[in-house]
A and B are shown apart, each in its own frame.
Chain A
């Protein structure tokens, strides 16, 4: 497997409040549109405001700072999943530019996109999406294996990630031997094991009971507190309360952008719990 290098970028270390110049945003999208179908049947999943001159969609603009914790809210069909898929390089936009960590994703070929997904993005899905019949340890090792990390190093890092989510003693269990909450924690461990620039979570608590929800959100809060950028999609206000910034999408347009806490601080949930920054 040929390994291709991506353009260099500053390390993902914790954001210091005293930093004089603001780092480049992890995500910068400009006039991003996504439509399905052709002609009259065209559906604009992402459209942004209408262009006053032509009446056509202008596209969505969005910047997400490093270390931010953004919740994207909206009803089903509002385009939030489309946004998430494009942010995760799983889908390609119809129009507009998407810069992830300073790299224009639109110019990458399939192999480079695989590399971007592997190195820069950690996914947490609503339906866990663990590989069937594979032990928790092997699940977490998987992204490292695709990155070409050596077996011993892979094992060490995977075990470290599993103990971070409190599942070190369950490393030999298969998905069908784990509860939903445990499965999602394995998924979180898998998402963070490559130390990605951004954690993308698509309704991570949608299939979980309230206790598991708290556990998983607590993990995500913790990750954000150590400087990891988090983009989380949800339709529950309870979950959105954990974010520093809440975006609301309606019909493919960002209708509100509310900041609940500063970027350079702990996530609001930890702040409320009195954990020092």
Chain B
């Protein structure tokens, strides 16, 4: 009875001042909507980073020679990476940590298709394991095989950009191209990955390692060795395996003097991910402040309401309204304001997250919806309790005399 009655009184009080109630709710609405939306934007950008991690191959590790950036490669003391190193890694590493190993040489050259000439961003010579490690998938045609590598066949897999430049819309599979004077048969075209940085990952030509060494680089060192860890969780283990084996093959006792570097895509990108996390927290903090401001708006309006209705409170007290009923009525009004405002804010936030915001596809975090709603209602209760308490503790005679 009392609950229903209180709700009716509260709703009546809010309806009596439609504009004021609507503006107060707007404050809460904006607060809740911005919390949901800004967290969704932050989350959206971190989801985008995660996607680019997966597109690069989450469990791939790249071994390059040199102890640090810069001159190490030219330093005579640094031993270059060789195919022998790659073989050592493939045979000695714990198979639970390392799934596959692919030595990579890169070269530059011009490819010719009849009279069309194009220079791909890089010409890669490697083993078939490269495709899986680098997360390169053939869309059309097929990969070259271990047989092609062993027989040093002149076959090539084109990146999407290279294929488009050389063949436009025509089907390149089975066609002949000439790269640096050597004729190659195109066996496959890679699926486009899309650019995530300055370099276009689709602007490549991939061929068997000995073929490229024969035609371009010679049979010396390799540029890098790509290692695929058994799983994303075992990259650390794979990393220590690689260090152990390569220290052995290079005959280095002190791990701090290693003449090679191991970098993982994950480690690079997790740094980026932590940046977006900071970004999300920052956005959330800004939004939380606007939620707080909305709460103070509730206090302000409730204080005005209490002052304005002091006489009515006096009447109710003279009629025998207990303190609890008056307290309940004003608390209910404040809570109604925040509940309705927060509810509308949730709708606005979810509706707003369907649009692209500064190039980021927002991804709503369900917890943020519940959290923002809950906090808004709690704020309403908290900030409403002061005016409500003031109303309830008015002395009836003072309240009645109030003009």
* A residues at B contact (CB < 8 Å): 1, 85, 88, 90-91, 110-111, 114-119, 123, 125, 129-134, 142-143, 145-148, 150-151, 190, 194
The answer to whether B400 and A146 touch across the interface, beta carbons within 8 angstroms, is no
Complex Cα gap A115–B317 (Å): 10
Asked whether any CB of chain A lies closer than 8 Å to the CB of B16, the reply is: yes
Complex Cα gap A85–B323 (Å): 19
Give the most central of B314, B319, B321, B322: most A CB within 10 Å.
Answer: B319
* B residues at A contact (CB < 8 Å): 1-2, 5, 12, 16, 311-312, 314-325, 395-397, 400
Residue of B nearest to A142 (CB): B319
Partner of B320 from the list A130, A134, A146 (CB cut-off 8 Å) is A146
The answer to whether B323 and A110 touch across the interface, beta carbons within 8 angstroms, is yes
The answer to whether A123 and B322 touch across the interface, beta carbons within 8 angstroms, is no
Least Cβ–Cβ distance between B2 and chain A, in angstroms: 6
**Which 7 pairs across A and B sit closest by C-beta, in order of nearness?**
A118-B320, A91-B397, A90-B397, A117-B320, A114-B322, A143-B319, A90-B396
Residue of B nearest to A111 (CB): B322
Measured between beta carbons, the chain A residues less than 8 angstroms from B311 are 129
Residue of B nearest to A151 (CB): B1
Complex Cα gap A118–B315 (Å): 11
The answer to whether A146 and B312 touch across the interface, beta carbons within 8 angstroms, is no
Measured between beta carbons, the chain A residues less than 8 angstroms from B400 are 90, 125, 129
Measured between beta carbons, the chain B residues less than 8 angstroms from A88 are 318
The answer to whether A123 and B1 touch across the interface, beta carbons within 8 angstroms, is no
Measured between beta carbons, the chain A residues less than 8 angstroms from B323 are 110-111, 114
Complex Cα gap A86–B322 (Å): 18
Complex Cα gap A147–B395 (Å): 20
Measured between beta carbons, the chain A residues less than 8 angstroms from B397 are 85, 90-91
Complex Cα gap A90–B319 (Å): 10
Complex Cα gap A250–B397 (Å): 22
Measured between beta carbons, the chain B residues less than 8 angstroms from A145 are 1-2, 5
Contacts A129-B311, A148-B1 supplied; 12 other A-B pairs, CB < 8 Å: A85-B397, A88-B318, A90-B395, A115-B320, A117-B318, A118-B320, A118-B321, A130-B315, A131-B316, A145-B2, A150-B1, A151-B1
Interchain Cβ contacts under 8 Å between A and B, 7 examples:
A114-B317, A118-B320, A129-B315, A132-B16, A142-B316, A148-B1, A190-B319
The answer to whether B319 and A123 touch across the interface, beta carbons within 8 angstroms, is yes
Least Cβ–Cβ distance between A57 and chain B, in angstroms: 21
The answer to whether B322 and A129 touch across the interface, beta carbons within 8 angstroms, is no
Give the most central of A91, A115, A146: most B CB within 10 Å.
Answer: A146
Least Cβ–Cβ distance between A80 and chain B, in angstroms: 14
Least Cβ–Cβ distance between A79 and chain B, in angstroms: 14
Residue of B nearest to A114 (CB): B322
